[in-house]
């Protein structure tokens, strides 16, 4: 949620910190701050309400120089967005600290620290940590020792980085429940919540384990594990080309990422030369695990949950495997009865979503035959904690609204369906080949939808002044409607709900009037005639319909009915093809409305707190 960057170097650190924050801004963007230690061991602090650009302006107006520094971009959990609540937090003008996560026992600790004479200047849960650190340092602890004692007092989740003017070359950090990586440089070392923040300065990273403490200087690094022992953690070199995080010729990352989908989908697909999909795509040992699978439990949040909802139709209909799908925040706290032989499948773009990660970590011994993570970020916490992994290879997704990550997740889940269906004998060789061939042609169909961008832009005008919308679908296109509604609400702030069309008459039909646009996902499938009847129910009540359909569905523009004609494609591709059109609709509605659509209000890209 929040983003952390820290630098211990021999060169000026502020530029690296600010560029790192700029790259991390997708994680949170309500306030930002930076603390540096200068040559005279002074602590220099800038904190600003608003975007990283505000912090950059403050630094340009009043340059703070130093080789050791920490910086933070915030997504408020405890305490409103304000300069006072922005990080770094400071104790006695000596210690500075940045925190990502939530400290559950902050109220009790705050009382304790106040009793010890500490004064609080913010309403955050984080400020207690900096005073705790100061307290232990004042008692004569080393920085690592003080951090070890401080985190021993914390309940909750955290990634922390701190500096101390009396130990000016060092930064100490710790992680538990929130991600933190060490960037390994030559004559300089770094820390960040996401390696993306540091790709301009290094390609070598250490992914810290839960409970790790680390101390960096420009010349050294020391990692201490949960048991207090010094450990060596593996350095991973990121070999792929440096991911550009500029918008290219697009005005928004979201638009760029929607248009990147033909490439991303082709990259996600792993089809052998003989047009087969191998179980090995899911990791070594996948075959042995898959042979024991009798049922699937998918767990995810938000858009990734919708991918799971689509996959349930595929897994049950094509592979003949019972499949349950649940949002992680519910799954993790529920008493469950698991079908024997169930495979736990977690789906997550970031691989860092706190609820999804907790769901995976909290499963009982022997509850599942194994765990498979479908994720977009290599070396993410979810990837490292799972038995099997499928990397969706969508490339960095910066827009808060997930687009290419969703469609590549669907590719992964269809590949899983094909592999499992074949191993169970539910899918014939011919059917598997037909599905694989369809997947192979997917990028072309998506390209055809992208060419409708100007048409969809025009269609979007009708939504600008609306306050509510309904999205309808039936069968597998109901979760597609859910994803369409989520996209519209998160970036345009228009209230949008999705319903299975057959459910309309059980309540939501009461909402239908000329002010309520209704978007129907209506490709030609087995349920089209049922859907058509539901749409008639809407029309006869004066509802305004926007029908996304192929030519064969036979809808025509008329009073109260506008049709967006989408390419006719194999049935298995429809959820992806129609989703791309819905992404463009949301994008253009938000664009017309002038919202900050890459960074919608109140949201963050990576939800690493509960
Ligand atoms: C999607 O547009 C959202 N911003 C959000 O629902 C997201 O999908 C959810 O937070 C899960 O994230 P993950 O895929 O990184 O786990």
Give the domain extent around 526: 453-593
pLDDT band at 72 (very low <50, low <70, confident <90, very high): very high
Nearest CA owner, ligand 1 atom 7:
302
| pLDDT over 70, % of the chain | 99
Q: Does 593 participate in catalysis according to the annotation?
A: no
CA of 349 to the centre of ligand 1 (A): 7
pLDDT at 514 over 90: no
- Domain check: are 201 and 287 in the same one? no
Within-domain flag for 142: yes
pLDDT for position 241: 55
- Domain check: are 318 and 364 in the same one? yes
CA of 363 to the centre of ligand 1 (A): 22
Of the three residues 413, 440, 467, the one that is the final residue of a domain is 440
pLDDT at 410 over 80: yes
Q: What pTM was estimated for this model as a whole?
A: 0.82
The alpha helices in 291-394, defined as continuous H runs, are 302-317, 328-331, 354-361, 381-385
User: What is the spatial distance between Cα 228 and Cα 222, in angstroms, rounded to a whole number?
Assistant: 12
Ligand 1 atom with least separation from CA of 401 = 2
| Residue carrying structure tokens 């290599």 | 378
Of the three residues 237, 266, 283, the one that is the final residue of a domain is 237
- Domain check: are 337 and 396 in the same one? yes
Q: Does 569 participate in catalysis according to the annotation?
A: no
pLDDT for position 23: 87
CA of 607 to the centre of ligand 1 (A): 8
Report pLDDT digits (tens) over 301-328: 999 999 999 999 999 999 999 999 999 9
Within-domain flag for 356: yes
Within-domain flag for 134: yes
Ligand 1 atom with least separation from CA of 606 = 15
Within-domain flag for 526: yes
Within-domain flag for 600: no
- Domain check: are 103 and 229 in the same one? yes
Within-domain flag for 366: yes
Rounded to the nearest integer, the mean pLDDT of the chain is 94
Within-domain flag for 448: no
DSSP character at residue 369: S
Q: How many helices (H) and strands (E) does the chain have?
A: 18, 25
pLDDT band at 606 (very low <50, low <70, confident <90, very high): confident
pLDDT for position 248: 86
Kindly provide the residue ranges of all beta strands, DSSP E only, lying in 349-476, ordered along the sequence. 370-375, 388-391, 468-473
pLDDT at 592 over 60: yes
Nearest CA owner, ligand 1 atom 16:
348
Give whole-number Cα distances, 32 to 39, 85, 98, 187, 370, in Å: 24, 10, 10, 27, 41
- Domain check: are 105 and 202 in the same one? yes
- Domain check: are 418 and 475 in the same one? no
Q: How many CB atoms lie within 10 A of CB 284?
A: 10
Of the three residues 388, 414, 440, the one that is the final residue of a domain is 440
Q: Is omega for the bond preceding 88 within 30 degrees of 0, making it cis?
A: yes
Asked if 610 contacts 4 with a C-beta cutoff of 8 angstroms, the reply is no
pLDDT for position 320: 96
Report pLDDT digits (tens) over 101-123: 999 999 999 999 999 999 999 99
- Find the CATH number of the domain harbouring 529: 3.40.50.10490
Output 307 or 380, whichever has higher pLDDT.
Answer: 307
Alpha carbon of residue 582 to chain centroid: 19
Mutate to test the pocket of ligand 1, among 348, 402, 406 (most ligand atoms within 8 A of CB): 402
Least-confidence region, from 444-453, 538-547, 586-595: 538-547
Within-domain flag for 248: no
- Domain check: are 458 and 395 in the same one? no
- Domain check: are 436 and 457 in the same one? no
CA of 489 to the centre of ligand 1 (A): 14
Ligand 1 atom with least separation from CA of 487 = 2
- Domain check: are 232 and 331 in the same one? no
Asked if 272 contacts 278 with a C-beta cutoff of 8 angstroms, the reply is yes
pLDDT band at 240 (very low <50, low <70, confident <90, very high): low
| For residues 13-30, average pLDDT | 89
Number of domains in the chain: 3
CA of 488 to the centre of ligand 1 (A): 14
Structure tokens at 63: 């340059």
295-300/323-327 β-pairing: parallel
Asked if 373 contacts 355 with a C-beta cutoff of 8 angstroms, the reply is no
- Domain check: are 425 and 516 in the same one? no
Structure tokens at 217: 């200087």
Alpha carbon of residue 483 to chain centroid: 15
| Binding site membership of 409 for ligand 1 (Cβ less than 6 Å) | no
Ligand 1 atom with least separation from CA of 605 = 4
| For residues 521-538, average pLDDT | 93
- Domain check: are 352 and 225 in the same one? no
- Domain check: are 394 and 308 in the same one? yes
- Find the CATH number of the domain harbouring 16: 3.60.20.10
């Amino acid at each position: 949620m929040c983003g952390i960057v820290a630098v211990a170097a021999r060169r000026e650190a502020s530029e690296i910190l600010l560029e790192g924050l700029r790259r991390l801004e997708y994680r949170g963007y309500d306030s930002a701050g930076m603390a540096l230690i200068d040559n005279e061991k002074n602590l220099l602090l800038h904190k600003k309400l608003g975007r990283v650009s505000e912090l950059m302006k403050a630094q340009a107006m009043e340059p703070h120089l130093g080789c050791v520094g920490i910086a933070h971009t915030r997504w408020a959990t405890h305490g409103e967005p304000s300069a006072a609540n922005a990080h770094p937090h400071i104790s006695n003008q000596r210690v500075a600290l940045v925190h990502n996560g939530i400290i559950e026992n902050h109220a009790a600790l705050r009382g304790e620290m106040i009793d010890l004479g500490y004064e609080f200047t913010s309403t955050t849960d984080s400020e207690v940590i900096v005073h705790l650190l100061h307290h232990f340092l004042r008692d004569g602890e080393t920085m690592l020792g003080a951090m070890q004692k401080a985190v021993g007092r914390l309940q909750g989740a955290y990634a922390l980085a701190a500096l101390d003017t009396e130990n000016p070359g060092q930064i100490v950090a710790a992680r538990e429940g929130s991600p933190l990586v060490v960037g390994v440089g030559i004559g300089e070392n770094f820390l960040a919540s996401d390696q993306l923040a540091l790709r301009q300065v290094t390609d070598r990273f250490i992914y810290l384990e839960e409970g790790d403490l680390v101390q960096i200087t420009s010349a050294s690094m020391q990692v201490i594990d949960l048991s207090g022992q010094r450990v060596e953690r593996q350095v991973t070199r990121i070999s792929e080309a440096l991911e550009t995080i500029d918008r290219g010729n697009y005005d928004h990352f979201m638009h760029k990422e929607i248009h990147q989908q033909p490439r991303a989908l082709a990259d996600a697909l792993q089809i052998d030369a003989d047009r087969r999909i191998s179980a090995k795509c899911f990791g070594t040992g996948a075959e042995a695990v898959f042979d024991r699978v009798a049922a699937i439990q998918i767990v995810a949040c938000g858009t990734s949950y919708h991918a799971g909802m689509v996959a349930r139709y595929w897994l049950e209909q094509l592979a003949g495997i019972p499949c349950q799908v649940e949002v992680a925040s519910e799954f993790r706290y529920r008493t469950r009865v698991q079908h024997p032989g169930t495979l736990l499948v977690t789906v997550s773009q970031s691989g860092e979503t706190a609820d999804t990660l907790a769901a995976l970590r909290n499963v009982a011994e022997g509850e599942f035959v194994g765990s498979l993570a479908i994720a977009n970020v290599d070396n993410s916490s979810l990837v490292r904690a799972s038995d099997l992994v499928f990397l969706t290879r969508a490339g960095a997704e910066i827009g808060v609204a997930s687009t290419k990550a969703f469609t590549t997740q669907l590719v992964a889940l269809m590949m899983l369906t094909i592999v499992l269906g074949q191993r169970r004998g539910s899918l014939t060789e011919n059917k598997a080949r037909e599905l694989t061939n369809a997947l192979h042609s997917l990028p072309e169909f998506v390209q055809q939808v992208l060419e409708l961008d100007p048409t969809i832009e025009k269609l979007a005008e009708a939504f600008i002044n609306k306050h509510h919308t309904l999205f309808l679908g039936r069968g597998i296109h109901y979760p597609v409607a859910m994803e369409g509604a989520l996209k519209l609400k998160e970036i345009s702030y228009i209230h949008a709900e999705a319903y299975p069309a057959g459910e309309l008459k059980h309540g939501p039909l009461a909402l239908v009037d000329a002010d309520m646009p209704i978007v129907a996902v209506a490709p030609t499938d087995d349920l089209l005639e049922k859907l058509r009847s539901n749409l008639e129910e809407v029309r006869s009540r004066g509802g305004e319909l926007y029908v996304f359909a192929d030519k064969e569905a036979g809808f025509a523009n008329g009073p109260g009915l506008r049709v967006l004609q989408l390419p006719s494609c194999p049935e298995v591709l429809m959820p992806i093809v129609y989703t791309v059109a819905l992404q463009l609709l949301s994008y253009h509605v938000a664009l017309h409305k002038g919202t900050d659509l890459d960074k919608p209000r109140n949201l963050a890209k990576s939800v690493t707190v509960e």
